[in-house]
Chains A and B, each alone.
Chain A
Amino acid sequence: MEYKALSVSELNSYIKNKIADDDNLNNILVKGEISNFKHHYTGHMYFTLKDDNSLIKCIMFKSYTYNLKFVPKDGVSVLAFGTVSVFERDGVYQLYCKAMQEDGMGSLYKAYEELKNKLEKEGLFSKEHKKTLPVMPKIIGVLTSNTGSVIKDIINVSTRRNPNVYIRLYPVPVQGEGAGVKIAEAIKVMNEKKLADVLILARGGGSLEDLWPFNEEVVARAIYESDIPIVSAVGHETDFSISDFVADLRAPTPSAAAEIVVPNIVDIEQNLNTYNIRLKNALRKKVEIMRMRYEKCMKSRVYTDPLKIINDNYVKLDMLIKSMTNSITNKLQLSKTQAIKNFSKLDALSPLKTLSRGYSIIEKDNKIVKKVEDLRKDDIVNLRLQNGEKQAKIL
């Protein structure tokens, strides 16, 4: 019988397919303790899972790591979910993890959910109860550990935004037995003595167990009762603690909390400056409008030529007097002409003029006799002649 030699690649490829075909190795749950944990700069996680007698290489790709609710590290017991496959280049089989959670955390999760539901029903998370943060807090109270990167991050971000920031750190243990009580006490002291205008309650990332103080009822109630607004920044962005729900605001990280709480002094100064400019412009505009109104008034003839009205009236008066004089003169002239006309008419009609031409007027009983029938025999009549009168008797 002749053996046909396989290449190494062929062999590994064959094994890979064999394993891939096996449903018992697809989407399985494995229990073990993490060791040799490496979070590669590419974002992938490399580690081994082991128990007392054995180990298996594991890899978790970056995209799956975002869903982790804890920070994996050596010595942590976990339940890993994934698929076994072969990495052909190295000829190794490994577990490609898609999800992972801490083993033995079941009871903690349950307690967390129970307390969360209870407090939610009581209204501790209600939006109405949440206080607004001061825009310009004079003193920033920080409740966190006085060691580690959290306080440093907060100080760095705060001083960058406001170089003259006033921070009061009240150091509290952020994990372990009794931490919750200490945190609650710190919140109470800050309130009683009014030591800050706003509080940041902060802790870096950690396992659910590490973050536990922030899930304790005593802390939740202290936050709820605080008159000072509280920003909670516990763990990583994906971690939600009960203190996050009760606090007036949740920040994804301690640095973000500082960003939220400490106003950017440059912005504030700019705001103030803008107000100054707006005030000045508004007043300038007002004065300008008033000046224009004043000028408009001043342009009126009442002010530019105050005598004009008087003069105008003088002219008017003069004209009236003139027209009055005219009309009287006219009337007089007219009457005079009429009178002369009448006189000459009268003169023309005067009987005296007729007498001068040799006529005479016969009067009887003081009436002018015009017809022969008016005269009888022996009537005495008066004869009026040019230069006198004589009596006569009719024959």
Chain B
Amino acid sequence: MEELNFEDAMKKLEKITAELEKGDLSLDESVKKFEEGIKLSKECNKILEDSEKKINVLINIDGNITEENFLPEEG
């Protein structure tokens, strides 16, 4: 499954909301749009909830990149 792009999802959400607010869709279409919108907003929320704090430092050894937790020096 392709990863949902947060920005695209937000843009789509805006579009769907505006369409639904116009009110000229049929009831069936309205319900469909509503479900789509709610699904998108849940997915966006999930992205936010699933993200976890990572402060990492990249180490490049001859083009091989490794990632380590970064601890800034004190003081």
Contact = CB atoms under 8 A, between A and B. Distances in A.
A221 interface: no
A197 to B, nearest CB: 10
A99 interface: no
Interface of A: 134-136, 138, 146-147, 151-152, 155, 159, 163-171, 189, 193, 195, 265, 268-269, 271-272, 275-276, 278-283, 285-287, 289-290
Contacts of A281: 21
Given A164-B48, A279-B37, 5 more contacts: A166-B53, A169-B56, A170-B58, A272-B13, A286-B20
A134 B6 CA distance: 9
Q: Is the interface of A mostly helix, strand, loop or mixed?
A: helix
17 contacts: A155-B55, A159-B53, A163-B53, A164-B53, A166-B51, A166-B52, A166-B54, A167-B55, A170-B60, A195-B65, A272-B44, A279-B41, A282-B21, A282-B34, A286-B20, A286-B23, A286-B30
Nearest to A286: B30
B54 A167 contact: yes
A285 B23 contact: yes
A74 to B, nearest CB: 22
A138 B44 CA distance: 12
Contacts of A289: 23
A278 B57 contact: no
B27 A287 contact: yes
A147 B58 contact: no
Residue picked from A136, A138, A165, A271, most chain B C-beta under 10 Å: A136
Given A169-B58, A272-B41, A283 B34 contact: yes
Interface in B20-63: 20-21, 23, 25, 27, 30-31, 34, 37-38, 41, 44-45, 47-48, 51-58, 60, 63
A138 B17 contact: no
A45 to B, nearest CB: 26
Nearest to A135: B7
A289 B67 CA distance: 56
A263 to B, nearest CB: 9
A279 B65 contact: no
B53 A275 contact: no
A222 to B, nearest CB: 15
Contact of B58 (A138, A159, A168, A271): A168
Query: Which of the listed residues A171, A265, A283 has the most CB atoms from chain B within 10 Å of its own CB?
Result: A283
